[in-house]
Amino acid sequence: MTSYNFFDRESCDLCGLCLNQCPIMEMPIDQARTEFKKLVNGEETEVLTKCTSCMSCNNFCPHYSRPYELILYRWYKRYQEKGLPRAAKFFLPYQFPNFGSALLEHLPEDEKKTVESWANLEKNKEVFYPGCNMIFLSYLSFSKLFENVTFMGSQELCCGEPWYRIGVLETSEQIAKKLEKQFRNLGVKRMITPCLAGCNMYKNVYPRFGAKFDFEIIPMLDWLWERIDQGKLKLKSKLNRTVTLHDNCEAKPFGNKYFDLSRQILQILGVKVVEMEHNRDKALCCGMAAFAGSHRVEDILNAAARRYREAEDTGASALALYCGGCQWVLSIAKILSQGKTPIFHVLELVQMAIGEKPAHRNVERAQKIFEIAMAEAARVDPQERFWAEEIEWKNEE
Ligand code: SF4
Ligand code: SF4
């Protein structure tokens, strides 16, 4: 049986650097050591409520002990005892009907048709796997960038990352086993993932639960770079603008690779990056995972507002990002703060550079997501708790 504790206690010398450098805790070193010891011993600590699940601490540890995995494990123990607030159920994958199924009903007709066409899970060797983040923003695919590309994905094939980010590790294991069987059946050999969350889950996280994915996984940033580098994408004009770049938490497990590659792509497009106060492996979470520790929905909005304010403070002409989830959370922050800085996905910037006009529906999509979320929050008893039902895949062929 899996223990679910992927923290390496043997290599950890309790130095406290992880919590000392954490962009949320910023603890003096003595306090950091004390609080980390409490985490190790399974005692109550403010870390468990303040942590925004940003993953940075794994990169700060000089011994690669994976302190973030210890936080996830403590959250798992808390979940076993107390469950999760009922309000969270609506926002989690595989809990139908949920936020995703509600949102799909409100998509414009062109996106509904697009998402329906992606849900055809036929056997394919090479696929672009949209994942939920891109399914909810399917207008990002309205581009000749995706000519001759086969999309394959639905909410039933979700990578399940949110369960992992809040520490419900038993459910993560079930999803890992389900996806392993499902993908084996689909015969995929090469998969391009638009967000790094999917890539990290399949490459790094699910193998820890014993699941094997016998295919090549290429993050979209690599795919874009390869196409630009090989001259397959003809850039018509330099964009000549300055943007600030939000680094996705899920880039952190890959070291500097995607911090560098995203900036390299922007540079080729003629975009200068002006950095936010917290960037690269110190980047703050967009807000999406800020629920993980506190279990308070308002902390998602507070964290998103803080991150969007950092972007505005740079004075850049736009906020660029490379994750669909970050795009809609930060777009909600933009709406609520009446911010002036527009938000663009890297895909949209590439579209502009090849001479297209992106559909750019992020603000209207964020507005709809916010309305759906608020309606659900008003409906659910804030005291009610739930525990996840088992998730498994039944081959109905
Ligand atoms: S996951 Fe992020 S917020 Fe949580 S302790 Fe680690 S660095 Fe801090
Ligand atoms: S996990 Fe790493 S950084 Fe944190 S206390 Fe242990 S050795 Fe130090």
The domain ranges of the chain are 17-83, 107-223, 227-379
Please tell me if the CB atom of residue 12 comes closer than 6 angstroms to any atom of ligand 2.
yes
For ligand 1, atom 6: residue with the closest CA: 57
Which two tokens mark 157?
């094939």
Q: Which positions ≥6 away from 244 have C-beta within 8 Å?
A: 273, 274, 275, 276, 311, 314, 316, 318, 319, 320, 341
Q: Which of 95, 98, 38 is nearest to 70 (CA)?
A: 38
The answer to whether 131 and 193 are in contact (CB under 8 A) is yes
CATH topology match: 107-223 vs 227-379? yes
Query: Does residue 201's CB lie within 6 angstroms of at least one atom of ligand 1?
Result: no
Q: Return the structure tokens found at 380.
A: 């659910």
The CATH fold of domain 227-379: Rossmann fold (3.40.50)
Work out which ligand 2 atom sits closest to the CA atom of 64.
2
Closest to 324 measured CA to CA, from 222, 196, 160: 196
Cα(220)–Cα(204) distance, integer angstroms: 17
CATH code of domain 107-223: 3.40.50
Q: Which atom of ligand 1 is nearest to the CA of 53?
A: 1
CA-nearest residue, atom 2 of ligand 2: 61
pLDDT computed for residue 397 by the predictor: 57
Q: Is the CB of 56 under 6 A from ligand 1?
A: yes
Looking at residue 2, what is its pLDDT? 65
* Separation of CA 65 and ligand 2 centre (Å): 6
Q: Which has the closest alpha carbon to 184: 157, 163, 209, 144? A: 157
pLDDT at residue number 394 = 75
Q: Are strands 84-85 and 385-386 parallel, antiparallel or unpaired?
A: antiparallel
Residue with the smallest CA separation from ligand 2 atom 6 is: 12
**Under a CB-based contact definition with an 8 Å cutoff, are residues 91 and 373 in contact?**
yes
Q: Which residues in the chain land under pLDDT 50?
A: none
CA-closest residue to ligand 2 atom 4: 18
Which residues are registered as beta bridge partners of 193?
219
Residue 301 Cβ contacting ligand 1 at under 6 Å = no
d(CA 140, CA 269): 18
Ligand 1 centroid to residue 171 C-alpha, Å: 22
| Ligand 1 centre distance from Cα of residue 282 (Å) | 10
Provide the whole-model pTM. 0.96
**Given the DSSP bridges, would you call strands 318-321 and 343-345 parallel, antiparallel or unpaired?**
parallel
- Calculate the alpha carbon distances from 363 to 71, 80, 284, 328, 342 in Å: 34, 37, 21, 8, 9
